[in-house]
Structure 1
Amino acid sequence: MNKIFFIGLLFFFLGSHTVFSQKKTEAALIAKDTLKSNDIDPLTPAKAAFYSAILPGLGQAYNKKYWKIPIVYGAMGTSLYYYIDSQKSYNEYRDEYKRRLEGLGRTEEFERYDDETLISAQKFYQRNRDLSAFFVIGFYILNIIDANVDAALIQFNVNENLSLKPNIYLNNVTDRTNVGLTFNYNF
């Protein structure tokens, strides 16, 4: 009985395994041709974000989206210009107000302004300065996010094998146009 059990167990193990007659290289070539997979680097978005954090626009250059670099520098540069200009105007009005508080009199440039106008001008330029600083930081963060998202989306496979298109066709029975959505997947 033990011999029959061992023979049956042997046939079970041998019968459950599949034996391939192809060479390994042929199977690898067939699999490589049919799949056509692209190499995906999961660290690409992190690298692009890191490069943009180091130098704004460098992540866009890493992603080969060179047309975005002037937009990044234009947005950040404009905000920085308004920050510097508002800080300069704020300091001028503040210095004039301090000068009047010390009893040194009015300068020719600010002679027509009273104290209340100087205080409201200080508040106006301080608010503009703070908003400009917020925009500089916001555009810097958006630059990093854009580089990260763009690097992540670049790795998606977008081809004609999988498509979703609107379709307008003529109905032969009613002679009216029909609108539909077609979903195509080609193997």
Structure 2
Amino acid sequence: MQKIALSISLFLLVSVSYAQTTDTSTVYNNYLDLNMAMLEGDMDKAISLSNTIMPDTAALPVKARVSYYNIMGKLYEESNANEAIKYYSRVAASAPDYYVVHRALGYLYLKKSEDLTNIDFATAAKKALFHLEKAQACDPSDETLEVIKTLYKKLNDQAGLKSLNKRLSAKAKKCIDILSSE
């Protein structure tokens, strides 16, 4: 009787392990298909695949998961700023030197600040500044620099404006422009 119980337990353990391996492989293959859909500009397919992957993101390797969240941010950027911010924030937390995500977050917060009251404006503007400064430090742009300076002036933060160049120099020391998914 004990041999039968042991055999059944072993069979169930092997079956569960196999099922998890299959799911991991399927999730990763869907992730690869998602990347291809994004590359080809097939947004409908990308959205469908991203929704398929969402419940199983833990099955993705860490770097692939970060890349997946970056794709999710891109998919939501135009239609739902709050969702885009949620996903881009995960990317920024995992890859803090990836300046591209900081630029996206900075402009998303900037866009939100345009529709807010003075108190909310200050909060959103400060969030935007944090991200825009990283983007500016790593990939200088006259437009982004002007936005940063304008925000400091609107916040009446002369000290922040005066120390901007020093902060940009410090932030420029670690910059990543491409996420690796492997």
TM-score between both structures, scaled by the size of structure 1: 0.25
Please say which structure displays the higher CA radius of gyration: 1
TM-score between both structures, scaled by the size of structure 2: 0.26
Higher strand share: 1
Higher RCO, 1 vs 2 (CA within 8 Å, ≥6 residues apart): 1
Higher helix share: 2
